[in-house]
Amino acid sequence: MLCFQCEQTDRTGEVPGCAGALGNCGKDSGTSDLQDLLLYAVKGIAQYAVRARDLDAPDDEAAGFILSSVFTTLTNVNFSPTRFVALLREAAAVRDRVRARYEEAARARGLDPRPLSGPAAFEPAPDMPGLLGQAAVARVDHGIALVGPDITGLRALHLYALKGICAYAHHAHVLGRHSEKVFAGVEEGLAYLAESPTDANELLARAVGLGHLNLAVMELLDAANTGTYGAQQPTAVRCTPVAGKAILVSGHDLKDLAAVLEQTKDTGINVYTHGEMLPAHGYPLLKAYPHLAGNYGGAWQDQQKDFAEFPGPVLMTSNCIIEPHARYRRRIFTAGPVGWPGVRHIANGDFTPLVRAARALPGFTEDGPEQFITVGFGRDAVLSVADDVIGAVRRGDIRHFFLVGGCDGPTPGRDYYADFALGAPRDSVVLTLGCAKYRFNRHDFGEIGGIPRLLDLGQCNDTYSAIAIASALADAFGCGINDLPLTLALSWTEQKAVAVLLTLLALGVRNIHLGPTLPAYLTPALVQELVDRFGLRVVGDAGTDVAAALERA
Ligand code: SF4
Ligand code: SF3
pLDDT tens, per residue, the chain with 553 residues = 999 999 999 999 888 999 999 999 999 999 999 999 999 999 999 999 999 999 999 999 999 999 999 999 999 999 999 999 999 999 999 999 999 999 999 999 999 998 999 999 999 999 999 999 999 999 999 999 999 999 999 999 999 999 999 999 999 999 999 999 999 999 999 999 999 999 999 999 999 999 999 999 999 999 999 999 999 999 999 999 999 999 999 999 999 999 999 999 999 999 999 999 999 999 999 999 999 999 999 999 999 999 999 999 999 999 999 999 999 999 999 999 999 999 999 999 999 999 999 999 999 999 999 999 999 999 999 999 999 999 999 999 999 999 999 999 998 889 999 999 999 999 999 999 999 999 999 999 999 999 999 999 999 999 999 999 999 999 999 999 999 999 999 999 999 999 999 999 999 999 999 999 999 999 999 999 999 999 999 999 999 999 999 998 8
Given this model, what pLDDT does residue 14 score? 86
Residue-level pLDDT at 552:
83
Q: What angle do CA 224, 56, 38 make, to 5 degrees?
A: 65
Q: Residue 142 and residue 123: Cα distance in Å, rounded?
A: 18
Mutate to test the pocket of ligand 2, among 318, 496, 501 (most ligand atoms within 8 A of CB): 496
501 CB under 6 A from ligand 2?
Answer: no
Question: The complex's ipTM?
Answer: 0.98
Ligand nearest to the CA of 493: 2
Q: From the CA of 6, give the closest atom in ligand 1.
A: 2
Indicate if ligand 2 lies below 6 Å from the C-beta of 318: no
Distance in Å, CA 85 to ligand 1 centroid: 20
User: What's the fold here for domain 376-552?
Assistant: Rossmann fold (3.40.50)
- Secondary structure of 395-422 in HEC code, one letter for each residue: HCCCCEEEEEEECCCCCCCCHHHHHHHH
Closest CA to 88 of 42, 138, 141, 135: 42
Secondary-structure class of domain 235-360 per CATH = alpha beta
Q: What is the dihedral of CA 417, 421, 422, 423, to 10 degrees?
A: 100
C-alpha span between 450 and 480 (Å, rounded): 27
> If DSSP codes are grouped into helix, strand and coil, which group holds residue 378?
coil
Cis peptide before 320 (omega within 30 of 0): yes
Indicate if the alpha-carbon torsion angle 241, 247, 253, 255 is positive or negative: negative
- Tell me if 320 CB under 6 Å of ligand 2: yes
The annotated binding site is made up of 3, 6, 18, 25, 252, 276, 320, 407, 435, 460, 494, 496
- 322 Cα–ligand 2 center, Å: 12
Residue 429 CA to ligand 2 centre (angstroms)? 23
The yes-or-no answer to whether 29-227 and 376-552 have a common fold is no
Least distant ligand from the CA of 439:
2
3-state secondary structure of 290: coil
> For 16, how many CA atoms within 13 A lie in the half-sphere containing its CB?
18
CATH architecture of 29-227: Up-down Bundle (1.20)
Q: Ligand 1 centre and the CA of 519: distance in Å?
A: 12
Whose CA is closest to atom 6 on ligand 2? Answer: 407
**Residue 273: its H or E element:** strand 270-273
* Ligand 2 near 232 CB (within 6 A): no
Domain ranges of the chain: 29-227, 235-360, 376-552
User: What is the value of pTM for the model shown?
Assistant: 0.98
